[in-house]
Amino acid sequence: MNLHKLELSSVDGTKLNLEALYQIVYSGFTEAKDEKTGELRRVVKGNGSHSR
């Protein structure tokens, strides 16, 4: 049996999925400033029920 390793570089696929989701449910996103670059980027809104 030959096992094939999966590549762990799915960033582009993730960006495509988030862009498609934004097109469907734009109200679930907000903009946030990237602390490193200072650029605005879209992020998924949280629901405020984080438990740590």
How is residue 8 written in tokens? 């762990």
For residue range 14-47, list pLDDT tens digits in order. 778 888 888 999 899 999 999 999 999 998 888 7
Count Cβ atoms below 10 Å from residue 21 Cβ, excluding itself. Answer: 14
Average pLDDT of the segment spanning 1-13: 68
Chain-centroid distance of CA 16 in Å reads: 9
User: pTM of whole model > 0.85?
Assistant: no
pLDDT attached to residue 49: 57
Q: What is the pLDDT of residue 9?
A: 62
- Model confidence at 1: pLDDT above 80: no
